Chain A
């Protein structure tokens, strides 16, 4: 597995502002992903973060709202832009491509938008 950290762990933001979430892994990984978990709901994949190229977004998610960067094999950021209360969720990054064939998740960032 891998040790994955996220910053911030939680934040309270005003509508109309943007928040950038960082994900750091303690080893190089081929795959990184960003998920959203809305209150009381399951996880939904936002996008696959591709190193050196644009992220691959799932249906219903767009780059203007959720820009993602991945400058190297150990780090990625997700920005939640022009936030509204509907963006209040837990945002989780995860990594794959490790021995064992599973994905491993970071601790999540709890976002509340007022």
Chain B
């Protein structure tokens, strides 16, 4: 069975500092990995995904994540965060690259302070 572990429930950082949100997964089959973001009182938005190809994937707002098969990780990074990045971030895994069933991690609350 698949599972996802987000190692940090809360990550407080100062504005313009770098941040890494950690995600590890377990699976006995091929995996497809996703990061979603949930801003306060809003639904989930897809941030970025790894389906195949380059192991480094980027979002339009400066986040990036790297698929590391040997370490079974898909950590999310940003070199310089903004106040507006304050949100809950969820890592998710699927056995399906067609938008099928997702297993979510517990979430990491990123709090960016001025």
Contacts and interface: CB of A to CB of B under 8 A. Distances in A.
A binds B: yes
Interface of A: 1, 30-31, 33, 41-45, 48, 92, 94-98, 100-108
Interface residues of B, number: 24
A42 B102 contact: no
16 contacts: A1-B46, A31-B99, A33-B102, A41-B107, A43-B44, A44-B104, A45-B101, A45-B102, A92-B43, A96-B96, A97-B100, A100-B49, A101-B51, A102-B34, A105-B36, A105-B44
B99 A101 contact: yes
Interface of B: 32, 34, 36, 42-46, 49, 51, 90, 94, 96-107
Given A97-B99, A101-B51, A43 B46 contact: no
Nearest to B44: A105
A30 B94 CA distance: 16
